């Protein structure tokens, strides 16, 4: 998970490298937890954090697993500053999908949208293809995206669905062969079997006044690929039989 201000902080923010604690007494979440297993985690500012980001915050994360393998991440960030100061941050869930062969994968739901290309100094372009396919390195931030995105793995005949709320943007990333060799925890050929698609809020950062709270949610599920292509109606997804992640 990324939580940063795109300033002097470490790349991708600091929340992903901090120790979280289990929250045994969380506030009510507006999610139906019937027949679902969940855990609540909490991250608060520390004296070390204040040295690099001079704000006090409370970050709550509920991780919910449904009986069919659906995974839901619900985040709540609150400004707990006592000095009256607002703070601004960007946010992204760092979700990686295992795919059979990246050259046989397509992403639907982002076609015709504007995006920022991180490989070209964040220059703005408009997606031209019917779907996103992969033939080289990709690092893009798609803007004002729909609430549902589909990742089709043709070889496995499986489609990952990403549904989101409160996160208007979406990041799509694959390092391809040359950059994969420079990433210590990624094997030289691992890029062929992974794809990062993540709900995000990047273009217009979130600003919270003291006492204010922001909420965001991302839900992941897998359905048969026969369901998908061109049918990105969220209601249809709920009617499909669900498969667990492989």
Is position 135 annotated as part of the catalytic site?
A: no
Q: Which residue in the list 108, 161, 198, 219 is annotated as catalytic?
A: 198
The tens digit of pLDDT for each residue in 219-242 reads 999 988 754 444 444 444 333 333
* Per-residue pLDDT at 129: 85
Asked if 45 is an active-site residue, the reply is: no
CA–CA distance, 110 with 75 (Å, rounded to integer): 24
Query: Model confidence over 95-141: pLDDT tens digits?
Result: 999 999 999 999 999 999 999 999 999 999 999 988 999 999 999 99
Tens digit of each residue's pLDDT (9 = 90 or more) over 133-174: 999 999 999 999 999 999 999 999 999 999 999 999 999 999
pLDDT digits (tens, 9 = 90+) for 46-62: 887 777 888 999 999 99
pLDDT at 29 over 70: no
Q: Which residues of 170-192 are buried (b: 16+ CB within 10 A; e: fewer)?
A: bbbbbbbeeebeeeeeeeeeebb
Of the residues 94, 111, 127, 193, only one is catalytic, namely 94
Q: In whole angstroms, what is the distance from residue 245 CA to residue 181 CA?
A: 27
Single pTM value for the model: 0.84
pLDDT, position 229: 46
Edge-to-edge strands, sheet with 132-133: 21-22, 37-44, 57-65, 71-79, 213-224, 158-165, 148-153, 105-108, 132-133
Question: For all residues of the chain together, what is the average pLDDT?
Answer: 85
């Amino acid at each position: 998970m990324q939580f940063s201000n795109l300033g002097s902080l470490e790349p991708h923010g600091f929340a992903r490298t901090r120790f979280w604690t289990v929250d045994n007494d969380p506030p009510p979440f507006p999610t139906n937890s019937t027949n679902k297993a969940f855990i609540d985690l909490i991250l608060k500012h520390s004296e070390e954090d204040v040295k690099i980001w001079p704000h006090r915050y409370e970050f709550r994360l509920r991780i919910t697993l449904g009986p069919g393998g659906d995974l839901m991440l619900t985040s709540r960030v609150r400004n707990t500053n006592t000095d009256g100061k607002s703070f601004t941050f960007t946010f992204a869930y760092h979700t990686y999908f295992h795919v059979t062969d990246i050259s046989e994968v397509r992403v639907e739901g982002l076609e015709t949208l504007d995006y920022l290309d991180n490989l070209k100094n964040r220059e703005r372009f408009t997606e031209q293809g019917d779907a996103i396919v992969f033939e080289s390195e990709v690092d893009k931030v798609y803007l004002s995206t729909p609430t549902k995105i589909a990742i089709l793995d043709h070889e496995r005949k499986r489609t990952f669905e990403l549904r989101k709320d409160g996160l208007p943007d979406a990041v799509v990333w694959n390092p391809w062969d040359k950059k994969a060799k420079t990433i210590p925890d990624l094997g030289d050929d691992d890029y062929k079997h992974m794809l990062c698609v993540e709900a995000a809020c990047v273009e217009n950062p979130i600003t919270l006044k003291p006492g204010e709270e922001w909420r965001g949610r991302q839900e992941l599920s897998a359905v048969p690929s026969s369901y998908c292509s061109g049918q990105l109606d969220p209601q249809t997804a709920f009617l499909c039989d669900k498969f667990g992640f492989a």
